[in-house]
């Protein structure tokens, strides 16, 4: 019997493959440039054996593993990767993939009552109640980054800069303003810059009632990134 294929499924898989490749490229570029980006990616609900929550392949996990393999050719010490996941949804797939792996630290700030409703254990999870605004969020982030610094010394940061904590997001349930999200981004970039750790970021989720609001959050992230990329460039001169 002839198998009937569905063009949309192959297109989805192809898009997902390209998104993984873009995060890999961003990680490689970050080692050369200090800061680099994938304008898609952040598919953190994907497990080793299955997809989930709009995610087909886990781009951050694949990139971390490949960069570790590439680094092993030149160093006896394994590349240590911190995945800082600030999408509003917990990175359950990423947490599961790197469970009990001392070379990858998974940090997730997310809505406590939001998807996925059955969460995995990250190395550091920060559950936030519905309606969390700028001040409480930024305080929680500061404490989380301090704990990350205390527990782990990365050679690469992969940052999932979700737009969905924004107050105008349909699925987010948090109440961060544009200014709050920009301050969030600046704090993560500054954390990596202070330690001179290369940082690659992906845009992750965003489901605004108004598409232009989600786009504005993402544009703000890139504007912050450009400033820190200039710092790296000036340092290299």
Taking the C-alpha atoms of residue 138 and residue 149, their distance in angstroms, rounded to an integer, is 16
Which one is catalytic: 18, 44, 45, 166?
45
> Which of 226, 220, 228 is CA-nearest to residue 196?
228
Residues 6+ apart with CB under 8 A from 191: 145, 148, 149, 157
**Distance (Å, rounded) from C-alpha 60 to C-alpha 41?**
8
Helices assigned H by DSSP within 152-198: 178-194
- Cα–Cα distance between 52 and 186 in angstroms, integer? 30
- DSSP letter (8 states) at residue 14: H
Instruction: Using CB atoms within 10 Å of the CB of residue 96, give its burial: 0 to 12 exposed, 13 to 18 middle, 19+ buried.
Output: buried
ω into residue 116 within 30 of 0, thus cis? yes
Strands 104-111 and 81-85: parallel
φ, ψ of residue 24 to 5 degrees: the values are: -60, -45
Virtual CA dihedral for 211, 42, 221, 29, nearest 10 degrees? -140
| Catalytic status, residue 110 | no
Please identify every residue annotated as catalytic: 45
């Amino acid at each position: 019997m002839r198998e009937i294929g569905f063009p949309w499924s192959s297109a989805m898989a192809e898009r997902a493959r390209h998104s993984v490749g873009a995060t890999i490229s961003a990680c490689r570029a970050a080692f050369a440039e200090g800061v680099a980006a994938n304008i898609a990616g952040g598919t953190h609900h994907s497990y080793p054996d299955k997809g989930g929550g709009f995610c087909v392949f886990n781009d951050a996990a694949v990139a971390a593993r490949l960069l570790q393999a590439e680094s092993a050719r030149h160093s006896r010490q394994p590349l240590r990767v911190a995945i800082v996941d600030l999408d509003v949804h917990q990175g359950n797939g990423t947490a599961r993939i790197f469970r009990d792996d001392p070379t990858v630290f998974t940090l997730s700030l997310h809505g406590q009552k939001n998807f996925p409703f059955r969460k995995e254990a990250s190395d550091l999870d920060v559950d936030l109640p519905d309606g969390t605004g700028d001040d409480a969020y930024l305080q929680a982030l500061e404490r989380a980054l301090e704990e990350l610094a205390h527990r782990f010394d990365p050679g690469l940061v992969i940052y999932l800069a979700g737009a969905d904590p924004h107050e105008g997001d349909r699925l987010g349930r948090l109440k961060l303003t544009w200014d709050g999200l920009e301050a969030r981004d600046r704090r993560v970039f500054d954390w990596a810059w202070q330690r001179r750790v290369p940082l690659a970021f992906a845009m992750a989720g965003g489901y605004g009632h108004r598409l232009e609001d989600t786009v504005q959050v993402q544009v703000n992230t890139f504007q912050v990134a450009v400033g820190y990329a200039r710092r790296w460039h000036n340092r290299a001169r």
